[in-house]
Amino acid sequence: MIGRELGSIPHLAAFRYKDYRFTWAANALGGASTWTFLIASQWYVLAESDSSGLVGLFTFASMLPFLLASPLGGIFSDRMERKRLTAITTGGTLVVIVVAAILAIADILQLWHLCILAFISGSFRATQETSLVSLVTNIVPKKDLLNAITLNAAIRHGSRVIGMSILLSTRLPVAEGFSTAQFFCASALFGMGSLAAILLVSTRSIGEEAPTTGLTKGMIEGLKFIYTNRPVGIFIVLVAFHCSLVMSFDSILPVFSRDTIGSGDASLLALLVLSFGSGSVVGTFLISGIGNEKGKGFLLVATGLISAISPIGLGFSSALAPAFIFKFLMGASQSTFMALTMTFVQVFTPDRVRGRVSSLYILHAGGIMAFANLGYGNLADLFGAPKILIVTGVIFLGVFVALSSTDPVLRDVYRGKNVQLSVV
C-alpha cells in the first residue's frame, strides 16, 4: 500500500515495484556502509601518516578493483542469477569490514591492512554495482527506468549523508584506534541491513548469454558492442573524462579540509562529504520525474557545465561556508550527470550484453578514478589541493564544451532527438 502511494508521485514512480524498493534499500544501506568505512579509513591514514600521497594510495587500492574486477563482474552478471550474485558480493564486503573492525578493536590495525582490505572490498563492490544495475533494469520497465536509475544514483551518493551524519553526531576523533573501530562496527551494521534487503528480492534476473561462452569471448563481445555503437561509446568516453577530471577528489579532500579549511579532526571533512551527499540527493531527485528526452538533454548540458565550474569554485574557497556550497553543487551536478549517462547507456543496450556493458561503464569510471586519485594525492603534497581542483575543473570545462559542440550524437541527445544504434 505504501509503495503504491509513493509510486503515484512522479518523482518516486519506481517505488510502485516492490522488488525495486528492496534493491533501493539494499543500495542505500550498502552505500552508507561503504562511505562510513572509506571516510573513517582515509582520515585514519592521514592522521597516522601526515601524507596526502598515502591517502591517495589507500583510495587507489579501494578503486583499482573497478578496473580489474569489473569485466569479470559483467560476465558473471550475464551468466549468474543477479540477485544471488548481488547477495554474495554484499556478504563478502560485510566480512571485510568485520575483519577491519576486529583489527581496530584489537589495536593492531596497520595502514597496509587497510589497503589490502580496501582492495578486497572494492573487488566485491565492483561486481555488486554491475549486478545491481542489471537487476534493476529487469525489475523496472523502460518507462520508469530513468526514475529508477536516478533514485538509485541519489541514494548511492546520498548514502554519504547517513554515514557522515553519524560521524558528525558523535564528534569522535577518528585518529584513535577504538573510535575507528566504532565507525567500522557501524559500517558493518549497515552492511547487514543491505544484505537482508537484497535477500527479500523475488525477481529472477539473468542475461541472455549462453553459459558455454568463454570469458574472453564474452568480454570481447561487450567491447565490440561499445566501440561499434557510437551512442554508447561517446557516453563511455564522456564519463571517462568526467570521472578522471572532476570526480577524483576523494584522496585530496582530507588534506583540503585540514590545510585549507582548518579542520583539526574529521568533523569538517565529514561535513563536506555530507554536503556532497545532500547535493546528490537533491539533484537526482529533481530529475527523477523528468520523462521527455529534450529535458534529459538539457539537464545533461547543464550538469556537465556545473560539474566543471563547481570544483573551480571549491579550489578558490578558503572558508567553510563557500566550500560547503560548492561541494553541494558538485554533488548535485556530478551525481545527476552520472545518472543521466548511465540511463542513456542502459536504454541503448540490449539485455544480452547489459551486464558486460554496465561493467565496462563502471570500469571506465572507477578504474580511471583509481589512478587519478593516486596521482592527485601525490600532487597535493607538492602543489596543494586547491590548485588541483582548479586546473582539473578548467580542463574538463574545455573538453566538455568541445565534445558537446562537435559530436553529432551528443547534439541529437541535447535536442531530444531519437538516436539510432548500429546493428551488432
pLDDT for the residue numbered 178 = 44
pLDDT for the residue numbered 191 = 94
Does the pLDDT of residue 15 top 70, yes or no?
yes
**How would DSSP label each residue in 217-234?**
HHHHHHHHHHHH-HHHHH
Q: What is the mean pLDDT of residues 253-278?
A: 82
Comparing CA positions, the residue from 166, 174, 143, 170 lying closest to residue 258 is 174
Tens digit of pLDDT for each residue in 325-361? 999 999 999 988 988 888 888 778 877 777 678 777 8
C-alpha cell at 323: 566550500
pLDDT band at 285 (very low <50, low <70, confident <90, very high): confident
CA 249 to chain CA centroid, nearest Å: 13
Q: What is the CA radius of gyration of the chain?
A: 20
pLDDT for the residue numbered 149 = 76
**Secondary structure class of 401 (helix, strand, coil):** helix
pLDDT band at 245 (very low <50, low <70, confident <90, very high): very high
Owner of C-alpha cell 541529437: 412
Query: What number of other Cβ atoms are within 10 A of residue 224's Cβ?
Result: 12
Which percentage of the chain shows pLDDT scores above 70?
Answer: 86
Q: Could you tell me the sign of the dihedral formed by the alpha carbons of 164, 168, 171, 173, in that order?
A: positive
Q: Are 44 and 103 in contact, with CB atoms under 8 Å apart?
A: no
CATH classification (class only), 2-414: mainly alpha
Comparing CA positions, the residue from 22, 5, 343, 13 lying closest to residue 203 is 22
pLDDT for the residue numbered 9 = 63
HSE-up (13 A, CA, CB side) for residue 377 = 25
Q: Are 74 and 360 in contact, with CB atoms under 8 Å apart?
A: yes
Does the pLDDT of residue 89 top 90, yes or no?
yes
More confident residue, 218 or 314: 314
Tens digit of pLDDT for each residue in 127-176? 888 788 778 878 888 778 778 877 877 777 777 777 667 666 655 544 44
Least confident of 18-22, 326-330, 387-391: 18-22
- Average pLDDT along the chain: 82
Tens digit of pLDDT for each residue in 179-220? 788 889 989 999 999 999 999 988 877 655 545 556 667 667
pLDDT for the residue numbered 176 = 45
**What is the value of pTM for the model shown?**
0.77
Distance between CA atoms of 65 and 130, rounded to whole angstroms? 12
Does the pLDDT of residue 11 top 70, yes or no?
no
Residues comprising the chain, all counted:
424
pLDDT for the residue numbered 328 = 95
More confident residue, 11 or 88: 88
Distance between CA atoms of 26 and 256, rounded to whole angstroms? 32
C-alpha cell at 64: 583499482
DSSP 8-state symbol, 419? -
pLDDT for the residue numbered 265 = 62
Question: Interior CA angle at 199 toward 195 and 204, to 5°?
Answer: 135
C-alpha cell at 317: 574557497
Tens digit of pLDDT for each residue in 28-54? 899 889 888 988 888 788 888 888 889
pLDDT for the residue numbered 151 = 80
User: Across 67-71, 305-309, 412-416, which has the greatest mean pLDDT?
Assistant: 305-309
Comparing CA positions, the residue from 340, 270, 350, 268 lying closest to residue 303 is 340
Query: What number of other Cβ atoms are within 10 A of residue 383's Cβ?
Result: 12
C-alpha cell at 284: 537526482
Does the pLDDT of residue 422 top 50, yes or no?
no
User: Across 23-32, 131-140, 285-294, 413-422, which has the greatest mean pLDDT?
Assistant: 23-32
Owner of C-alpha cell 594525492: 377
The conformational region for residue 50 under phi > 0 = left, psi -120 to 50 = alpha, else beta, is left
DSSP 8-state symbol, 352? G
Comparing CA positions, the residue from 173, 369, 182, 403 lying closest to residue 265 is 173
Distance between CA atoms of 185 and 174, rounded to whole angstroms? 13
pLDDT for the residue numbered 360 = 77
Distance between CA atoms of 137 and 153, rounded to whole angstroms? 14
CA 268 to chain CA centroid, nearest Å: 22
pLDDT for the residue numbered 423 = 40
pLDDT for the residue numbered 65 = 83
